[in-house]
């Protein structure tokens, strides 16, 4: 199996020109053969239908920095979608975002609708891909997984909600939380509830300066793990044994994005204390087994996931499940 990709463009109906176009990259498995004069090689039908991962980038993080993860997940038999959307998120402020409808974070509106302004467009595009080559008829659009980093991770967690998106079957997120924005009228330190209806893998790192600064901003000190722990403790009740909190020892806020994006130079992580490659390998294997166990229901995956998340592993600071 080889990994290939192709591009698409789609309109975000809620946005105004020129910031209403999303550029999408779809990673998929091929047979690994040589295809002469073919712009887009055919997909490998052997493992179809393919569950789909939609990955939400972090604020100012180019989608190309998550290509390493997309390729590893495709090698496991998944299709992965990343996207690039530049928007004017406030007057005169323009950047790459995962697409956040911040109005749905207000105290009187939270939970009344999807906080992602990009997911409806992405799901519509998947429907179109299901009827066109090279993935025609090969997508499992009833088992879509949302993943994301930082603000994009929050989008993944909050929008894994069967009320609004019944085709979503699980979510994973790195370096994020469900802390309530004080600027929108919430009291400091409040953690907003998550849908808590689907499997969730929440991950973070012990050397995450950005999460430490966010905790301080919300009046919770400067512990890089406090928002992750509060989110796991307060935002979900669990009870199904399919919700995880994995803390990676020595990992930074941008450990999931590689190579480092130059638009992020305004804020810095702590110096690395562990091998970046080993951290990313553990992260990717955990995400893959989590999907295999709790979304694709593969019979041996849960045991493999439990074995992988061994607290004796020096790259694992802690792991919780509920």
Q: What confidence score (pLDDT) does residue 259 get?
A: 83
Q: Do 215 and 227 form a contact (C-beta atoms < 8 A)?
A: yes
Q: What confidence score (pLDDT) does residue 188 get?
A: 87
Query: pLDDT digits over 260-281, tens only?
Result: 766 655 455 555 656 889 999 9
Q: Do 305 and 285 form a contact (C-beta atoms < 8 A)?
A: no
Using CA atoms, how far apart are residues 256 and 49, in angstroms rounded to an integer? 27
H or E element at residue 305: helix 301-308
Q: What confidence score (pLDDT) does residue 91 get?
A: 79
- Tell me: pLDDT of 195 over 70: yes
Neighbours of 125 (CB within 10 A): 20
Which residues make Cβ contacts (< 8 Å) with residue 15, sequence separation at least 6?
Answer: 87, 117
Q: What confidence score (pLDDT) does residue 99 get?
A: 96
What number does CATH give the domain 2-321? 3.40.50.1820
Q: Which contacts qualify for 85-92: CB closer than 8 Å, 24 or more apart? A: 85/12, 85/19, 85/22, 85/23, 85/118, 86/19, 87/15, 87/19, 88/19
Query: pLDDT digits over 65-101, tens only?
Result: 999 999 999 999 999 999 999 998 877 889 999 999 9
Q: Could you give phi then psi for residue 203, rounded to 5 degrees?
A: -125, 155
Q: Do 120 and 144 form a contact (C-beta atoms < 8 A)?
A: no
**pLDDT averaged over the chain?**
93
Query: pLDDT digits over 15-62, tens only?
Result: 889 999 999 999 999 987 666 666 789 999 999 999 999 999 999 999
What residue segments make up the domains of the chain, in order of their start?
A: 2-321
3-state secondary structure of 105: helix
Q: What confidence score (pLDDT) does residue 221 get?
A: 87
Q: Residue 14, CB half-sphere, CA atoms under 13 Å: how many?
A: 15
pTM for the complete prediction?
A: 0.95
3-state secondary structure of 173: strand
Q: What is the mean pLDDT of residues 283-298?
A: 98
Joined together, the tokens standing for residue 150 give: 């930082």
User: Given the structure tokens 């087994």, which residue do they identify?
Assistant: 289
Q: What confidence score (pLDDT) does residue 117 get?
A: 95
* CA dist list (Å): 301 to 62, 234, 306: 31, 28, 9
Q: What confidence score (pLDDT) does residue 66 get?
A: 97
């Amino acid at each position: 199996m080889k990994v290939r990709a192709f591009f698409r463009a789609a309109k975000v109906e809620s946005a105004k020109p020129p910031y209403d176009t999303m550029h999408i990259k779809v990673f998929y498995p091929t047979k690994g053969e040589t295809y002469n004069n073919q712009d887009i090689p055919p997909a490998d039908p052997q493992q179809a239908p393919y569950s789909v991962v939609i990955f939400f980038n972090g604020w100012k993080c180019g989608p190309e920095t998550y290509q390493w993860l997309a390729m590893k997940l495709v090698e496991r038999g998944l299709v992965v979608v990343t996207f690039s959307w530049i928007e004017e998120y406030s007057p005169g402020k323009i950047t790459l975002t995962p697409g956040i409808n911040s109005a749905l974070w207000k105290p009187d509106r939270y939970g009344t609708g999807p906080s992602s302004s990009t997911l409806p467009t992405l799901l519509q595009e998947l429907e179109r891909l299901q009827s066109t080559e090279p993935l025609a008829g090969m997508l499992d659009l009833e088992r879509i997984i949302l993943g994301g980093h930082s603000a994009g991770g929050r989008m993944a967690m909050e929008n894994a909600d069967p009320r609004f998106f019944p085709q979503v079957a699980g979510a994973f997120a790195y370096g994020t939380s469900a802390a309530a924005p004080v600027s929108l009228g919430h009291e400091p330190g409040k953690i907003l509830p998550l849908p808590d209806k689907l499997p969730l893998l929440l991950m973070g790192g012990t050397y995450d300066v950005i999460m430490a600064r966010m905790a301080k901003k919300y009046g919770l000190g400067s512990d890089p793990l406090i928002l992750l722990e509060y989110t796991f403790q307060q935002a979900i009740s669990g009870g199904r044994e399919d919700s995880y909190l994995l803390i990676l020892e020595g990992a930074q806020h941008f450990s999931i994005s590689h190579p480092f994006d130059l638009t992020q130079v305004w804020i810095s992580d702590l110096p690395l204390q562990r091998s970046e490659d080993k951290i990313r390998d553990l992260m990717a294997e955990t995400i893959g087994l989590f999907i295999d166990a709790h979304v694709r229901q593969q019979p041996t995956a849960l045991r493999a996931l439990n074995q992988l998340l061994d607290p004796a592993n020096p790259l694992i600071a802690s792991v919780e499940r509920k």
